[in-house]
Amino acid sequence: MLSARSVFQEILDNDDSFRLFCSIAASGESQGGWENGRIAALVPQSMRYLAPKITRHGADEDKHGRLFNALLNKRELEPVPVPPETDYTMLLEQRGIGLAHDKLRRDEPLTEDDILIYLSHSRVTEQRAAEQMNMLVKYFGDHPEAGRPLRTICDDEENHLAYCHEELLRLARAGHGRTILRVLRECAMAESRVYRDVSLAVMAHMGRILKWPKAKSTALAAGIHALYAYERLGGQRRMVSLSMPERRDALGGPATAAAGIL
């Protein structure tokens, strides 16, 4: 039976596929950490109140990168280079989604619109991260090695998503509603496509490593295309809606250490 659980179980059980999976995840998380660190440093004066939360957001993503690398270390595996076609963060940036790295490398303050773009972009990508982590925790939350780090990351991604909802609603109420809605829609549209392409590329690599029969690869690719079609037919709404989260001020405190894991 072909299920998401059996596919991820196979990926987890084989050193080469596990190494590629953790390398891709660690690299995406660290890129997210770097981006947030730079955004926190460049927040415009009028939005300085957000800087500690953006710093915390970045610290969490850096921690996730370390957690995925620690999983590799535990199995005495070295990270491998991330194939460009599987680099979700880089591909989003290339499609002009979020803030360009060039801009973040400069030492000029960002604008209020830049911060709206950052938060809207995060609203969409954190939804994806939270859904993926929830799926992994559902299947592997009790896994002896991976369970605890996965639960930690999942909880953080839920915090990040809650924070984006709360801050975007605050800014919408302050008169930025139209811009936020426009950016959310553009971002969700592009993200859906990038996610499909990256999923296809990752599964193609996994299929080669794990020597999947053609029928299995075809079925998995069909599943990825079906998810994309569903998102285009309205499933994207979950990526662009805003509602006040149950967790308020989710990034209000300092980053929590990954106690006992790192």
- Quote the least distance from Cβ 162 to Fe ion, whole Å: 11
Other C-beta atoms closer than 10 Å to the C-beta of 49 total 10
Q: How far apart are CA 77 and CA 171, in angstroms?
A: 44
Q: Is 61 in the site for Fe ion (CB under 5 A)?
A: yes
- Quote the least distance from Cβ 157 to Fe ion, whole Å: 5
Q: Which one, 50 or 209, has the nearer CB to Fe ion?
A: 50
Number of residues that bind Fe ion (CB under 5 A): 7
Only one of the segments 17-25, 27-35, 90-98, 167-175 lies at the binding site for Fe ion (rule: CB under 5 A); that segment is 27-35
**Using CB under 5 A as the criterion, what x/- string covers residues 148-167 for binding Fe ion?**
---------x--x-------
Q: Which of residues 162-201 bind Fe ion (CB under 5 A)?
A: none
* Maximum Cα interatomic distance, the chain, rounded to a whole number of Å: 56
- Going from the C-alpha of 230 to that of each of 48, 166, 235, the distances in angstroms are 39, 27, 6
Only one of the segments 9-17, 45-53, 64-72, 215-223 lies at the binding site for Fe ion (rule: CB under 5 A); that segment is 64-72
Q: Which one, 61 or 191, has the nearer CB to Fe ion?
A: 61
Q: How far apart are CA 123 and CA 81, in angstroms?
A: 28
Range list of H helices, the chain? 4-13, 15-42, 51-74, 88-94, 101-105, 112-140, 147-171, 177-210, 214-230, 237-240
Q: Which one, 26 or 220, has the nearer CB to Fe ion?
A: 26
**Using CB under 5 A as the criterion, what x/- string covers residues 110-129 for binding Fe ion?**
----------------x--x
Q: Which residues contact 196 (CB under 8 A, 6 or more apart)?
A: 224, 225, 227, 228
Q: Which one, 129 or 220, has the nearer CB to Fe ion?
A: 129
Only one of the segments 58-66, 136-144, 170-178, 188-196 lies at the binding site for Fe ion (rule: CB under 5 A); that segment is 58-66
Q: Which residues contact 217 (CB under 8 A, 6 or more apart)?
A: 203, 204, 207
Q: Which one, 157 or 167, has the nearer CB to Fe ion?
A: 157
Binding site for Fe ion (CB under 5 A): 29, 61, 64, 126, 129, 157, 160
